[in-house]
Chains A and B, each alone.
Chain A
Amino acid sequence: GAGVSQSPRYKVAKRGQDVALRCDPISGHVSLFWYQQALGQGPEFLTYFQNEAQLDKSGLPSDRFFAERPEGSVSTLKIQRTQQEDSAVYLCASSLKVAATNEKLFFGSGTQLSVL
């Protein structure tokens, strides 16, 4: 596709439910990032992949959060036993090359997760 695609666009989950959020990066992009954006705030880094390797997961808020990119293209962010504080927009971003200064990031429109 022409841009980074994320699905679903909206997700409503009951507290305690597991959710999976999908990201389709731009074809051929090596680097993939997940960010979490709370309402009225700036995005916060969650994790970074270079191809299929997860090189940085320092931003994942708890062990309930898990991300994977098994074939170096599509990525899934999974949240187990969702809590109300997990409600946010989850943004995926990709870039063509290995992460480096000045390499342009392309963001998707995000998945808005609401935990009731």
Chain B
Amino acid sequence: QQQVKQSPQSLIVQKGGISIINCAYENTAFDYFPWYQQFPGKGPALLIAIRPDVSEKKEGRFTISFNKSAKQFSLHIMDSQPGDSATYFCAASQGAQKLVFGQGTRLTINP
């Protein structure tokens, strides 16, 4: 059962542009929504996370927008840089950290 759906599967953005990745979830009991960044040959690393009691969270160039009624959340990367090229995963969990991950988005930033 696909509990977290992520799109697009791949994304190409020009340097300096805005990268946007979307996720939708089904389980309304989820109360923690992190985004992870993964480089080839490495494990996922936490980028930014949000709780459902806020609609937006910003950390540097990374912003999460959260829409509880639509059960959707998105990651925005402002001023995208070639070093941001990686695979990004959204995830969700209820209480403890048994994370349910999306399928991933392969982001390429062209110089």
A99 contacts the other chain (Cβ, under 8 Å)? yes
The answer on a CB contact under 8 Å between A42 and B103 is yes
B95 contacts the other chain (Cβ, under 8 Å)? yes
The answer on a CB contact under 8 Å between B45 and A107 is yes
Give every chain A residue within 8 A of B11 (Cβ-Cβ).
Answer: none
| CB nearest neighbor in B for A45 | B98
Supply 30 A–B pairs (Cβ within 8 Å), ascending by A.
A4-B43, A35-B99, A40-B103, A40-B104, A41-B103, A42-B4, A42-B6, A42-B101, A42-B102, A42-B104, A43-B44, A43-B89, A45-B99, A48-B96, A48-B97, A48-B98, A95-B97, A99-B98, A100-B96, A101-B31, A101-B51, A101-B93, A101-B95, A101-B97, A102-B32, A107-B44, A107-B45, A108-B43, A109-B43, A110-B43
Give every chain B residue within 8 A of A109 (Cβ-Cβ).
Answer: 41-43
**Chain B residues touching A, range:** 20 to 34
- Closest beta carbon of chain A to B47's beta carbon, Å: 11
Sorted nearest first, the 4 A-B pairs with minimum C-beta distance are: A107-B43, A42-B101, A99-B96, A101-B32
Q: Is the interface of B mostly helix, strand, loop or mixed?
A: loop
B77 contacts the other chain (Cβ, under 8 Å)? no
**Chain A residues touching B, range:** 20 to 34
Please report the C-alpha to C-alpha distance between residue A47 and residue B79 in the assembled complex, in whole angstroms. Answer: 38
A31 contacts the other chain (Cβ, under 8 Å)? yes
Give every chain A residue within 8 A of B4 (Cβ-Cβ).
Answer: 42
- Closest beta carbon of chain A to B111's beta carbon, Å: 25
B100 contacts the other chain (Cβ, under 8 Å)? yes
